[in-house]
Amino acid sequence: MKKMMEGIGSINGVLSCYLVDRDGEIVEDAGNDKLDKTLASAVIAAITKELSTQMGIENNFSIIVMAQKKNLFIVTQKNFILAVFTDPTIDTGKIRFELRECVKAISEEL
Amino acid sequence: MNEKGLRPDINSLDVLISLADLYVENGLVEEAKDLLKTAIEENKEEIKPYTLLSKIFITQGDKKKAADVLKNAMKISPEDKEIKQLLKSLKIDEKEEVKETKTKKPATGLGDSLDKVLSNLLKVKGILGVLIVDDIGALIGAKLELPVEKESTGAIISSIYDKIKFSSADLELGLINKVFFELPGGNIIVLGSKSLRFIVLTARNILVSQVENVLAEAFHKTIDLLGVE
């Protein structure tokens, strides 16, 4: 798991990545972002919970936030959330492809 | 086959409808609804998925949603007996509905210029609807090809967008330009300004990069036309 996260963290343009459970507890992380990890994982879980509650969709959804300082990619599966912060100039298609592969591998491992 | 069934590989209307029937028979009502919405997206001129979807809503006691679906079906086939009967069963004056669909433009509450901007967006392949809401989630205007309830849909998406916006400081994201939701039934793209949420509903398979410029242009035109920040 650590290796997979470090793999994502090493992609050019990726600032940090977090594997968190649906309650917002960090399972694994990688990267050099100076973000408060505990706060970030809690906020990410809260965002996915809001979507689940409001739309009645439990899992298998993604959120991409494109912002001035960073982009945030969130992939929500049944048992985990994978969140990746990137430089805003990163190639969105490339990171989405990498995330899909990683989500598949994590799902198999879990 | 994924947990939602065979949907991604199937395009035939008859197969989709048969599968939806099977789902209903086996108590998988939500899956049946998703399938019928897909059938509507892919077969816009066919009324059968509309009537089946409305029947599910009627069974669930959601007369409002059933009526919305039937109103959309009536635009395609104003004389269809089954639609009329279903509307009657909902105690809706179908004559008024037919008159409305034949003589009136959809009640968007927008000026002609803005109406034109939204209508042009719906001509883009894969774009299924546009909702414009203010910063508290109140509907300003809408153009939809989907049988969704526009006020509540706009409010729900706006509240999720706001949750992300208010979290942006904690996540050190800076000003949000755009949020993209990739959901099992389709995608949602939200462009936000200080006082406006421009919500675009799209098919699951849309190529975002191909519509990005069109969306940005329509968003900025909307801001200009409404004279908001």
Q: Where are the domains of chain A?
A: 2-109
Answer for the pair B134, B193: CB distance below 8 angstroms, yes or no.
no
Kindly determine whether residue A43 and residue B184, on different chains, have CB atoms separated by under 8 Å.
no
- Residue ranges in chain A modelled with pLDDT below 70: none
Give the sheet arrangement for strand A14-20, strand by strand.
Answer: A26-31, A14-20, A81-86, A71-76, A61-67, B176-183, B186-192, B196-202, B127-134, B139-144
CA of B157 vs chain A CAs: smallest distance (Å): 8
CA of A38 vs chain B CAs: smallest distance (Å): 11
Kindly determine whether residue B176 and residue A65, on different chains, have CB atoms separated by under 8 Å.
yes
Consecutive H or E run containing A98: helix A92-109
Domain with B83 in it:
7-103
Band (pLDDT 50/70/90 cuts) for residue B228 is: confident
Total number of domains in chain B: 2
More confident residue, B145 or B96: B145
State the DSSP string of B47-87.
Answer: -HHHHHHHHHHHHTT-HHHHHHHHHHHHHH-TT-HHHHHHH
Largest interatomic CA distance in chain B: 57
Do B120 and B83 share a structural domain? no
**pTM for the whole thing?**
0.67
Do B193 and B176 share a structural domain? yes
Band (pLDDT 50/70/90 cuts) for residue B78 is: confident
| Interval B108-114 mean pLDDT | 64
pLDDT of residue B107: 44
Is pLDDT at B8 greater than 60 in this prediction?
no
Kindly determine whether residue B173 and residue A55, on different chains, have CB atoms separated by under 8 Å.
no
Domain boundary among B103, B131, B161: B103
pLDDT of residue B73: 85
Do B220 and B155 share a structural domain? yes
Q: Tokens 């699951």 sit at which residue?
A: B204
Provide the 10 A C-beta neighbour count for residue A94: 13
Do B171 and B83 share a structural domain? no
CATH of domain A2-109: 3.30.450.30
Domain containing residue B160: CATH number: 3.30.450.30
In tens, the pLDDT along B137-193 reads: 888 888 888 888 888 899 999 999 999 999 999 999 999 999 999 998 889 999 998
